[in-house]
């Protein structure tokens, strides 16, 4: 195949020249250098095309391996030199699974080379027994070269979950010597919560079927006790010549991708100024509580608005206002120690405290605590600022409730609290009529 079809003729040529020189340094190459470079360039282009193809076919690797034998490149160093040079093919692949694809392609490359070498030896009138022995040794050497030099994690396991062998990539991923991996159970390094999924996918689905490949993404326990994430493609391989069936797993560390996803999830659910949960996170929490609530469960909401915050922004500027909001959030975190309390900033100077499985006494105590946290002045730069809050509270049965309805009810109570004066809280419960909100009998005015 002409290498210009792949968009990187110069890079393919450079790899082909480097491959030809490495072979020439290691063994006899039975053709002129220019002819060898042209042939190797076509093989590089063919492998690159297959790495990027949607309907990936690893047998292309076997055909490339056989092509080397057809070109009379049959000296002992050919396999190790070729595997080392071709390990750089991932730079030509745009797919996220390039490394695992290349490992499978190189394994097929070695298999094709070994099979073609076996046929060549037979044509050379070697005895059938000698040819099989040579081919088996070549296959073992071939697999060892790919196994040891692959940039991805590779493991061979029996069909019961015991590791037969592992390469340096897997040992480095986990942080233990290869010898400790041999004979270990695949569950020894898996997160306890992932074991049932591994059992169901690999040992209840793949192994009984006796063929195919499954993809598995799981947490891996490292030597220091921490957990990372790894993605594996696990293939069932039928044994030959009386050997047992086995599983071939090719994987890569995807911890960084998971951490990035977790961070994006965190950012999407937290306020960037105060680091408190945002409105989206609050509504999600309410939805979860509503879905899991018992018949008699009630929840409490405290909808809080800072008194006079607009004047702070107008007088001192929005920079001071933002620092004041951060300081208020810190006061709430430090002053409310109930582990079940969930405090969110939902916009501007508005905060909401969510109390699961609440009662009237607990709701009153939390409301009083929130007001008390703001009783002392807050220092922002050279400014000593005094700030108070008005709070609308809701006590509501959870079953059949709706998150937005609860927030609307708390907002209505907040409106009544601000209308009644600053630094106070007002209760709205499900037993009250929406048009007859009343101030809680124990309500205290502060200031």
Q: For residue range 251-290, what is the model confidence (pLDDT) as tens digits?
A: 898 999 988 888 888 899 999 999 999 999 999 999 988 8
Going by pLDDT thresholds of 50, 70 and 90, the confidence category of residue 163 is very high
Do residues 158 and 141 both lie within one domain? no
Asked if 406 and 332 sit in the same domain, the reply is yes
Q: 378 by DSSP, 3-state: which?
A: strand
Do both 212 and 294 map to the same domain?
no
Is the pLDDT assigned to residue 125 strictly greater than 60?
Answer: no
Measured between its terminal Cα atoms, the distance across the chain in Å is: 85
Q: Which of 232, 257, 282 is the last residue of a domain?
A: 257
pLDDT per residue over 174-228, tens digit each?
999 988 999 999 999 999 999 999 999 999 999 999 999 999 999 999 999 999 9
Give backbone dihedrals phi and psi of 421, rounded to 5 degrees, phi first.
130, 165
Mean pLDDT in residue range 127-140: 50
pLDDT value at position 416? Answer: 85
Is residue 423 within 8 Å of 371, Cβ to Cβ?
yes
Helix axes 128-149, 78-86, angle to 10 degrees: 30
In-domain check, residue 442: no
Both 143 and 168 in one domain: the answer is no
Residues 102 and 223 in one domain: no
Same domain, residue pair 3 and 137 = yes
> Are residue 95 and residue 74 in the same domain, yes or no?
yes
pLDDT greater than 70 at residue 131? no
Of the residues 105, 134, 150, the one at which a domain ends: 150
Q: With respect to residue 441, please indicate whether it lies within any of the assigned structural domains.
A: no
Q: What kind and span of H or E run contains 248?
A: strand 246-253
CATH of the domain at 407: 3.30.70.270
Residues 144 and 192 in one domain: no
Residue 445 within a domain: no
Half-sphere exposure of 190 (CA within 13 A, CB side): 19
Q: Does 253 share its domain with 279?
A: no
Separation in Å, CA 218 to CA 18, 227, 254, 438:
38, 10, 10, 54
| Other residues' Cβ atoms within 10 Å of the Cβ of residue 285 | 18
In a domain, 411, yes or no: yes
Q: Are residues 387 and 288 in the same domain?
A: yes
User: 44: closest CA among 85, 72, 78, 76?
Assistant: 85
| Domain-embedded: residue 314 | yes
Is the CA virtual torsion 37, 43, 46, 51 positive or negative? negative
Residues 146 and 163 occupy one common structural domain: no
Three-state DSSP string of 80-109: HHHHHHHHHHHHHCCCCCHHHHHHHHHHHH
What sign results for the dihedral spanned by CA atoms 225, 231, 236, 237? Answer: negative
**Is a pLDDT exceeding 70 seen at residue 142?**
no
Assess whether pLDDT exceeds 80 at residue 432: no
Is residue 287 in a domain? yes
Determine the structural domain holding residue 165 and report its residue range: 152-257
User: For the chain, how many structural domains are there in total?
Assistant: 3
The CATH number of whichever domain residue 172 belongs to comes to: 3.30.450.20
443 lies in a domain?
no
Residue 262 lies in a domain: no
Nearest to 396 by CA among 360, 353, 443, 442: 360
Average pLDDT, the chain: 84
Least confident of 95-99, 195-199, 320-324, 368-372: 95-99
In this structure, are 92 and 133 located in the same domain?
yes
pLDDT above 80 for 133: no
27 contacts 71 by C-beta, under 8 angstroms: no
- For β-strands 424-429 and 388-397, DSSP reports them as parallel
Task: Single out the residue in 227, 257, 287 at which a domain terminates.
Answer: 257
């Amino acid at each position: 195949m002409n290498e210009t079809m792949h968009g990187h003729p110069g890079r393919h040529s450079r790899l082909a020249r480097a491959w030809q020189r490495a072979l020439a340094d290691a063994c006899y190459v039975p053709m002129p250098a220019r002819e060898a470079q042209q042939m190797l360039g076509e093989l590089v282009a063919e492998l690159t095309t297959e790495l990027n193809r949607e309907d990936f076919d690893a047998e292309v690797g076997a055909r490339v391996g056989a092509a080397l034998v057809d070109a009379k490149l049959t000296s002992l160093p050919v396999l190790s030199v070729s595997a080392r040079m071709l390990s750089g093919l991932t730079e030509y692949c745009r797919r996220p699974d390039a490394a695992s694809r290349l490992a499978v392609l190189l394994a097929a490359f070695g298999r094709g080379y070994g099979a073609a070498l076996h046929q060549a030896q037979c044509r050379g009138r070697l005895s059938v027994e000698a040819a099989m022995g040579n081919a088996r040794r070549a296959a073992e050497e071939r697999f060892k070269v790919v196994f040891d030099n692959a940039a991805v994690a590779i493991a061979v396991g029996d069909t019961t979950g015991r590791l037969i062998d592992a390469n340096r990539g897997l040992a480095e991923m986990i942080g233990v010597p290869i010898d400790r991996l041999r004979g270990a159970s695949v569950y020894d390094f898996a997160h306890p919560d992932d074991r049932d999924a591994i059992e169901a996918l690999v040992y209840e689905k793949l192994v009984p079927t006796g063929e195919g490949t499954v993809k598995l993404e799981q947490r891996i326990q490292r030597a220091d006790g921490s957990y990372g994430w790894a993605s594996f493609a696990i293939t069932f391989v039928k044994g030959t010549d009386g050997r047992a069936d086995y599983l071939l797993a090719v994987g890569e560390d995807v911890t960084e991708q998971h951490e990035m996803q977790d961070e994006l999830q965190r950012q999407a659910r937290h306020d960037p100024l105060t680091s408190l949960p945002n409105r989206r996170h609050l509504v999600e929490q309410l939805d979860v509580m509503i879905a899991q609530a018992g018949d008699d469960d009630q929840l409490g909401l405290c909808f809080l608005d800072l008194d006079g915050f607009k004047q702070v922004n107008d007088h001192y500027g929005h920079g001071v206002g933002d620092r004041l909001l951060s300081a208020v959030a810190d006061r709430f975190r430090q002053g409310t120690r109930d582990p079940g309390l969930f405090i969110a900033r939902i916009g501007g100077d508005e905060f909401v405290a969510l109390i699961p499985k609440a009662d009237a006494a607990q709701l009153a105590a939390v409301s009083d605590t929130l007001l008390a946290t703001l009783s002392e002045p807050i220092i922002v730069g050279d400014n000593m600022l005094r700030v108070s809050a008005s709070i609308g509270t809701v006590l509501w049965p959870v079953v059949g409730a709706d998150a937005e309805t609860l927030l609307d009810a708390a907002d209505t109570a907040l409106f009544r609290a601000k209308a009644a004066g600053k630094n106070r809280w007002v209760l709205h419960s499900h037993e009250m009529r929406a048009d007859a909100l009343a101030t809680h009998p124990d309500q205290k005015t502060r200031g």
